[in-house]
Amino acid sequence: MQEIARQRGIDRFLFASSSAVYGNATPLPAREDAPAIAPESPYAASKRAAELVAWSLSRRAPAMACTALRFFTVYGPRQRPEMAITLFARAVLAGRPVTMFGDGSMRRDFTHVDDIVKGTLAALEGAPRGFRAFNLGSGAPVDLRTLVRAIGEAAGAEPAVERAPVPLGDVDATFADVSRARDELGWQPRISLPAGLRSVLDWVRGNPAG
């Protein structure tokens, strides 16, 4: 990889990682330098393994910026249809029950895609040489009960809820400490959850499922 980068004059490597790398062992809010990082699923482990590849690359090519961006529960217009917020929004608008895992107490740090894009551009322009990880999250986690209620309020409907078991590998909570991205990249999230949900609902209304 470093040989390809050298031949093509590439001095930056940006990797889309995930908050999933932290697992349940990391104290919250999660910091990039947390002493305990224990992925709970194969997906999370693959992201952590790729981060280590980037770290190894930085050791072999110290002049290169090798950056891992740990995205926290990204949502927004054009989201994959099976992801929670889009799935919930379509169900509420159609008058179908929302399937909620567990008792609804799981918390997620939902981050709007517009903020993720701005954070990615900030890292592309300002990340330092060597390996560096950055959290990109809202820093304001909410539980699933609150999320479903907020979608209902934004849609002007009362959501019906069905319960389902929590999938294996799901973590209890995600919660980003974004101080490193703020201090080193000049980035911070701007879009509130209510505003973000409205953007999803507007897109879903204009793009009915096939």
* Residues annotated catalytic, as ranges: 43
Q: Name the residue with tokens 């929590």.
A: 166
User: For residues 55 and 62, what is the distance between their CA atoms, to the nearest angstrom?
Assistant: 10
The answer to whether the CB of 97 falls within 8 A of the CB of 152 is no
| Residues β-bridged to residue 101 | 164
Number of alpha carbons in the 13 Å side-chain half-sphere of residue 191 = 23
Q: Are strands 74-75 and 142-143 parallel, antiparallel or unpaired?
A: unpaired
Cα(56)–Cα(26) distance, integer angstroms? 23
Residue 25 near residue 36 (C-beta atoms within 8 A): yes
CA angle 182, 185, 191 (to 5 degrees): 55
**Measuring CA to CA, how many Å separate 35 from each of 27, 45, 67, 197, 206?**
9, 16, 19, 34, 45
